Amino acid sequence: MKIVIIGSGNVATVLGRLCKKRQHEMVQVVSRNAAHAKILANELNCAYADYDEKLNESADIYIIAVADTALQEMNSRLHLGNKLTVHTAGSVSKEVLKDISHNYGVLYPLQSLRKEMQYETDIPFLIDGNTADAITLLEDFASTLSATITKATDDERLKLHVAAVMVSNFTNHLYALAEDFCKKEGVDFGLLIPLIKETAERIQQFSPADVQTGPAVRNDIFTIDKHLRILTEHPQLKYMYIKLTDSIMKG
């Protein structure tokens, strides 16, 4: 497929690299900041433009990977006729693209992506399209990028995005709080890495609710009280500890 990527951030970069690696032809990177577009285009060995310059009209698919809030503005900038045009957002309806093309949809990577990632990671894709043809085309394209392609409506994608925030963004925030706590208390956060890995590995075989461990699930008030005393100096972490302990105890 010939591909134009619109945007030059994390998703544009990771998807651009993946498409190139899978032998798709990157024809152009378009972004509001020409300097950012140029950096990605150089890496992908293709042309670049900002929104004032001419968009390459020869591509088979246009991937719009810009900030959620910018998607609506794309209506006034892009008019792509029948060209398959997708966005990559979890919580934005595909209908945001209906005035840009007659063939539109979503290619949502259900993964945390950062342009610094130089390794290849598994990316399940949730796809959607406004017509059966758009969905088929997108399925064929996405299956060159990943072994896990799932059709999901706007509503299903939104729900999975909520779950994704919980399992990725919230757990990472807890890692950040714990790391800060360890630094301040002079203990080594690095010693927790095997525990982090084991917790994530385990849920590939068991339902998370069935493998919950720790003082809250044991109703061990004595230990919880000891923890809360040491957390007096860390009010934000103490708040999270109380809320999550309460949630675990409610089951």
Contact between 5 and ligand NAP per CB under 6 A = no
Nearer of residues 8 and 245 to ligand NAP, judged by Cβ: 8
Number of helices (H) and strands (E) in the chain: give both, helices first: 9, 8
Query: Which residues, 6 or more positions from 175, have their beta carbon under 8 angstroms from its beta carbon?
Result: 196
Contact between 152 and ligand NAP per CB under 6 A = no
Residue in 32, 102, 151, 238 binding ligand NAP, rule: CB under 6 A:
32
Distance CA 40, CA 57 (A): 19
Residue in 26, 109, 130, 160 binding ligand NAP, rule: CB under 6 A:
109
Q: What is the DSSP-derived secondary structure letter of residue 218?
A: T
Contact between 157 and ligand NAP per CB under 6 A = no
Tokens of 19: 């498409």
CB of 50 to ligand NAP, least distance (A): 9
Distance CA 4, CA 27 (A): 6
> What residue is closest to ligand NAP based on CB?
9
Distance CA 212, CA 66 (A): 38
Residue in 112, 146, 150, 199 binding ligand NAP, rule: CB under 6 A:
112
Q: What is the dihedral of CA 134, 139, 144, 150, to 10 degrees?
A: 140
Tokens of 44: 């992908």
Q: What is the DSSP-derived secondary structure letter of residue 73?
A: T
Contact between 88 and ligand NAP per CB under 6 A = yes
How many residues lie near ligand NAP (CB under 6 A)?
Answer: 23
Of 2-10, 52-60, 78-86, 199-207, which part binds ligand NAP (CB under 6 A)? 2-10
For ligand NAP, the binding residues (CB under 6 A) are 7-12, 31-33, 36, 65-68, 70, 73, 88-90, 108-109, 112-113
